Amino acid sequence: MLKINYKLFLLFFAGLMATTSLLADSPDGADADGHAAYDPAAPAFHHISDANVYSIGPWQIPLPCIMYVPGEGFHTFSSSQFGITTPHGDGLYAVDRFVLIGGRVKLLKDANFPMGKVELGKDHHDLHHLWHAENPAKTLNGQNFNLAFHDSSTADGGVFGGGITPFYDFSITKNVVSMMLVCFFMGWFFIGMARKYARTEGQAPSGAQSLFETIIVFIQDEVAKPFLGKDWERLLPFLLTLFFFILGLNLWGQVPFFGGANVTGNLAVTMVLAFVTFLVVLINGNKHYWEHMLWMPGVPSVLKILILTPVEVLGMFIKPITLALRLFANITAGHMVMVIFVALIFLFGNAGANPAAAYGTAVGSTLLTLFMMAIELLVAFIQAFVFTILTASYLGAATEEAHHDHEGAH
């Protein structure tokens, strides 16, 4: 019990130290420097967004930038060329009309802005005043340039608030690096565990084998076999890959002070996972599945054409969409809630103008954040399991054999 309390004390102390650092730095919109009132939405959305730098505590690790501008071609460089500042991940320099704001690469709208590397400020305070000005501008060699910029590159057509911008970002971003790291660690871990099984054949599992064998057997006996029937052994590797990949990404995002990557809270990632599930279901769908999907036997043709077939076809596309949205929404909400709890410190402390209120709020905020981290640890397992079991149910419906003849004989 003493050991547990000691760990909680260390976590609480770390929270207070982080609060002190943030207050001293005076975050975006802080009144201490005469800025506008603190906006808690800005750091929350910044935390859950993808970035062209990888943040570990106060350190900003540069990543490769691969930008394509129609008519200009590809621009490839390291994000270190921007002169990344802490703590907000802004760039001291513009590179080929690209700027780094909050860790994200933007393209300046002014086509006359000089190409190459151009200094925008001396430190992050200069950049803060620059990008929070009503009309950001920069004077270079006596010529004034407007620093209005296009938003980050997205291709959702505006459905989720984005749009197709005049440039395309093919960079290795924080989420991509996180996925690579998770794949590497999990590959190394499971290959090592498989080799250990080969060396100790016939012996009882030990160490990590005991934990992961329990999880694998649970997925096998409680998910694969009940939903997939005779096809469980063939499709079990796919279900296990989905479960451990999603679980690994969820847990990676829970590691404190190590980037806080919101990978499964990124709609692009969850949509790809859902699309892979959609393809696997379509590929494994048997004659019985397609028959009931497109032309249900024993049902009047009018009902088939007007109601049942359109509903079934629509449902075939809705299922993967709900898979993607469920995982995205649950993981994103957890990340945002924890950031908002920390933001309460600045709201009650008036962004540094009232340190006593800030430190008082930090006590409750730290405890709430620790509680949410415990809840999110549970959610990480639940959401991986829910995605896997729903995938198994869709696959089971697609591979189920017809029972009409058996039911008629009975």
Integer Cα distance of 204 and 137 in angstroms: 69
CA atoms within 13 A on the CB side of 333: 10
Verify that 195 and 301 share a domain, yes or no: yes
Structural domain harbouring 317: 175-409
Q: Could you tell me which residue, 136 or 32, shows the higher pLDDT?
A: 136
- Under the banding of pLDDT at 50, 70 and 90, the label for residue 24 is very low
Contact 299, 306 (CB under 8 A): no
Of 172, 189, 216, the residue at which a domain comes to its end is 172
* 245 has a pLDDT exceeding 90: yes
Verify that 83 and 143 share a domain, yes or no: yes
Q: What percent of the chain has pLDDT over 90?
A: 34
Integer Cα distance of 299 and 311 in angstroms: 14
Looking at residue 290, what is its pLDDT? 80
Looking at residue 43, what is its pLDDT? 66
Verify that 227 and 323 share a domain, yes or no: yes
Q: What is the pLDDT of residues 248-294, one digit of tens each?
A: 999 998 887 776 788 998 888 999 999 999 999 999 988 877 877 77
Task: Encode burial over 61-91: b for 16+ CB neighbours within 10 A, e otherwise.
Answer: ebbbbebebeeeeebebebebbbbbeebbbb
Verify that 186 and 168 share a domain, yes or no: no
Does residue 46 form part of some domain? Answer: no
Looking at residue 2, what is its pLDDT? 33
* 309 has a pLDDT exceeding 50: yes
Helix, strand or coil for residue 345?
helix
Q: What is the pLDDT of residues 210-235, one digit of tens each?
A: 889 899 999 999 999 999 988 899 99
Contact 392, 224 (CB under 8 A): yes
Verify that 198 and 121 share a domain, yes or no: no
Contact 91, 101 (CB under 8 A): yes
Helix, strand or coil for residue 61?
strand
Alpha-helical runs (H) found in 229-304:
232-252, 267-284, 287-294, 301-303
Verify that 150 and 270 share a domain, yes or no: no
DSSP-assigned letters across all residues of 32-55: GGT-PPP-THHHHHHHHS--SEEE
Q: What is the pLDDT of residues 343-358, one digit of tens each?
A: 777 777 665 566 777 7
Name the domain count of the chain: 2
Residue 75 is inside which H or E element, if any?
Answer: strand 73-78
Verify that 152 and 240 share a domain, yes or no: no
Does residue 42 form part of some domain? Answer: no
* 301 has a pLDDT exceeding 90: no
